[in-house]
Amino acid sequence: MTPPIETITADTAIADDSEDNAPLLAHDYDGIREYDNPMPGWWKSIFLGSVMFAGFYGLYFHLLDWGHTDGERYQTQLADYESKKEIRARAEAANVSEAALTTAGRDPKMVEKGELVFKSRCVSCHADDGRGLIGPNLTDLRQLHGTTRMDLYTTISNGAPGTAMLAWGEQLPQADVVAVAAFVTTLRGKNIAGKSGEGQPVTRFEP
């Protein structure tokens, strides 16, 4: 036999307290009663602290402009880096010369290192053997930018504005750029069939 369902009224709800003395609210829903338990003090403290922090953050970073966000700091550092780009280029170029590149081109280990870097970075434009794709053929007796070893190094390091040639000096250590330049000098005169010659006529580099 089903026991009778007790009817909950506002009076009985208010009078009935829980074990921790939290009063029952006057309303009920389908026989379900709700205790009037306040939020814990630690929760209120965290909530109020979050509101205060948000207000301080807005004032500090946006209204009073006292602080700088990560994005703003990055832009400042990037501008400083770009402003010193020419100084760095001159300092690096001072350590490289036609004679130094000639010596590097005679060093099998340096040339091998340059070939590895070339094949990992440059094949999409020059093919793995230097015959040229988007970029010029590096094996014929023509040079698009200048004529010397230093011209090759400068093009590799600083790129060629208006073309797909990147400034690898901004992405690679200087030693790698020197190694690639040394390797490229060994390609001139191999005359591998590929892209038609571009630039002015040149002679093979003396070993």
Question: Quick one: DSSP state of residue 130?
Answer: S
- Specify the pTM: 0.59
Reduce the DSSP state of residue 50 to 3 states and report it.
helix
pLDDT confidence bin for 95, thresholds 50/70/90: confident
Q: Please count the structural domains in the chain.
A: 1
40-49 per-position pLDDT tens digit: 889 999 999 9
CA distances for 201 relative to 12, 66, 103, 147, 189, angstroms: 105, 60, 24, 8, 11
172 or 83, which is more confident? 172
Res. 201: pLDDT tops 80? yes
pLDDT confidence bin for 157, thresholds 50/70/90: very high
Say which CATH number the domain at 89 has.
Answer: 1.10.760.10
pLDDT confidence bin for 16, thresholds 50/70/90: very low
User: Across the chain, which distance is largest between two alpha carbons, in Å?
Assistant: 111
Residues 51-75: what's their mean pLDDT?
Answer: 85
| Tokens representing residue 100 in the block | 């130094």
Question: Could you tell me if residue 70 is inside a domain?
Answer: no
Range of the domain at 165: 85-201
DSSP assignment of 129-172 equals: TS--SSSPPSSSSEESS-SSHHHHHHHHHH--TTSS---GGGTS
**Confidence at residue 13, expressed as pLDDT on a 0 to 100 scale:** 45
